[in-house]
Amino acid sequence: MAIQILLNLMLTFIWMFLQNDWTLGGLTVGYVLGLLIVGAFRRFFSRPFYMRKVWAMIRLFLLFNKELLLSSFTVARQTVSPKLSFRPGIFAYTTELETDWEVTLLACLISLTPGTLTLEVSRDNRYLYIHAMDIKDVEEHIEQIRNTFETAILEVRRA
């Protein structure tokens, strides 16, 4: 992946040098042309095209921001309501993630989302113990985490 990025940047600066255009527009055109050239020759690289991983990271970032916004409104609504109707609790989440950085990223994303907090990760990185501000259905929380954050992290790893 690093070779593809460096090649793309090198093609970008060659384009800017040949065109004698050192503006943001020249950089953008050179980068897009370099991206097309690297994409056209991606079969000669041992790794997949690097923009797949970049796109997966952008989707993970956007997913986190969406979940952050939605959970912030939910927590704000629950805390300002006159009747406290939420039920806090702790549950164990079994993850399919394998490496330390994937489990750490999942734990951080869960903790950064308002209303949830990762309390502990088991020694074998298979279980996360999560505190949630409002647990009506544990299975629903587990499926929500699995279908959002864990799936997006796996897509970044696979890309």
Domain boundaries, the chain: 2-44, 52-158
The answer to whether the predicted template modeling score (pTM) of the entire model surpasses 0.75 is yes
Residues in the chain: 159
Banded pLDDT at 56 (limits 50, 70, 90): very high
At residue 1, does pLDDT exceed 90?
Answer: no
Quote the tokens at residue 137.
């259905």
156 vs 43: CA distance, rounded Å = 20
* Eight-state DSSP code of residue 43: G
Cβ–Cβ under 8 Å, residues 56 and 152: yes
Tell me the average pLDDT across 47-63. 92
Which residues, in sequence order, are CB contacts of 98 under 8 Å at separation 6+? Answer: 125
3-state secondary structure of 14: helix
- Tell me which residue of 60, 55, 124, 50 sits closest to 94, measured CA to CA: 124
Give the pLDDT band (50/70/90) at residue 47. Answer: confident
